[in-house]
Amino acid sequence: MNVAEGGVGPGFIEIAGLTFRYPGADVLAISGVDLMVQKGEFSCIVGPSGCGKSTLLTILSGLAAPEAGTVTIEGHEIYKDGRRTAEELPRCGYMFQDARLLPWRTVRDNLTIALKAADVPEERWDDTVADLLRMLRIEAFADSWPLNLSGGQRHRVAIARALAIEPAFILMDEPFSTLDEVTARFLRTELLEVWQRTGTTIVFVTHSIREAVFLGDTINLMTKGPGMVFDVRRIDADRPRAYEDPSLAEIEGSIVGTVLEAWGYYEQPTARPGDSTG
């Protein structure tokens, strides 16, 4: 494993030997995953379809228990030897591919529902909503219905909702994969600005190596399913980053070469009867 060297202490999120199998399934979804995320880090997870990336986020959120392994978050051992402990899971924001806003509630109401569920005192709701919508440049849409917003605007509301509960960390499962590339690039830049302003730890799942190189401090590369982390790359490029930066293209090319081999795309095709070898 190509883990960045240096005086790195205990991680904010530490995963060891994590294994998971869906009920009734014969095949494991993930097998022996080891992963570490530092506090305030933007950590990306990249892997092929079916390797268990989303499953890993589900376990980190406390929505599913592993078959084996240990998960420690902010010093709290959440799972030990595959069993849920009595430790309380630190508050977690979750963002999916779809914004998942309630269409019968306004933007403001979608945020206040999250605040109420997180037991944030009601006297703070108005200021919190106003600050977040201003930060994400959608304050003009506070009283709009989600279906009247563009896809990009709905995703910004979803980011605001994830931040509203003041989470210890945010899990993001391919949140921009359904958007056109121009909108996605704009939102990635805005996400980085918000991340740098808030200092929130982010674990971001993506299929796109270019997206991961642009966003991440570290990139965890997973094998084909049952998935495990086989390589970790630290992206030391300065911020803010530009898509056209040749150094980012070089990093992307190196990672692409690594995963092509790891995911089996460089295997020689099986010879058919009658094929000539001369």
Q: Would you say residue 242 lies in a domain?
A: yes
The answer to whether the bond into 246 is cis (omega within 30° of 0) is: no
Arithmetic mean of pLDDT, 250-266: 90
Question: Which pLDDT band, with edges at 50, 70 and 90, does 225 fall under?
Answer: confident
What number is the average pLDDT over the span 119-125?
92
As a whole number of Å, the end-to-end CA separation of the chain is: 39
Tell me the pLDDT tens digit for each residue of 66-79.
Answer: 999 999 999 999 99
Q: Please answer whether residues 41 and 201 qualify as being in contact, where contact means their C-beta atoms are separated by less than 8 angstroms.
A: yes
Q: Nearest CA to 11 among 32, 33, 42, 39?
A: 39
- Note whether residue 215 is domain-resident: yes
- Does 5 have pLDDT greater than 90? no
* Per-residue confidence (pLDDT) for residue 146, from 0 to 100: 95
Q: Please give the residue range of the domain that contains residue 237.
A: 9-88+203-263
- More confidently predicted of 22 and 270: 22
User: Residue 184 — very low, low, confident or very high, per pLDDT cuts 50/70/90?
Assistant: very high
71: tokens are: 């998960």
* Centroid of chain to Cα 58: 11
Question: 106 lies in a domain?
Answer: no
Q: Domain for residue 182, yes or no?
A: no
Tally the C-alpha atoms within 13 A of residue 36's C-alpha that lie toward its C-beta: 14
Report yes or no: 68 and 18 within 8 Å, Cβ to Cβ.
Answer: yes
Does 131 map to a domain? no
The CA distance from 129 to 203, in Å, is: 24
**pLDDT over threshold 70, residue 7:** no
Task: Check pLDDT > 80 for residue 191.
Answer: yes
210 within some domain = yes
* In the block, residue with structure tokens 């022996």: 32
Helix (H) or strand (E) holding 152: helix 151-164
The reported pTM is: 0.89
Q: Which uninterrupted H or E stretch holds 187?
A: helix 181-198
User: Is 80 exceeded by the pLDDT of residue 267?
Assistant: no
Q: Which of 117, 159, 166, 168 is nearest to 138 (CA)?
A: 159
Check which CATH number belongs to the domain holding 62 and give it: 3.40.50.300
| HSE toward the beta carbon, residue 66, CA cutoff 13 A | 27
Report how many domains make up the chain.
Answer: 1
Q: Binning pLDDT at 50, 70 and 90, where does residue 141 land?
A: very high
Cα 29 to Cα 22: distance, rounded to the nearest angstrom: 7
pLDDT: is 104 or 4 the higher one?
A: 104
Query: Is there a domain that residue 78 lies in?
Result: yes
What are the Cα distances from residue 64, in Å, to 20, 61, 120, 203, 273? 9, 8, 25, 17, 48
What integer pLDDT is reported at residue 272 of this predicted model? 53
pLDDT at 265: 80
High-pLDDT (> 90) share of the chain, %: 79
Average pLDDT, the chain: 90
The H or E element containing residue 43 is strand 42-46
pLDDT at 3 exceeding the cut of 50: no
* Choice between 47 and 277, residue whose per-residue pLDDT is larger: 47
Average pLDDT over residues 251-260: 94
3-state secondary structure of 184: helix
**Phi then psi dihedrals of residue 237, to 5 deg:** -65, 140
Task: Establish if 116 belongs to a structural domain.
Answer: no
Mean pLDDT, residues 18-22 taken together: 94
95: which 2 tokens?
């963002």
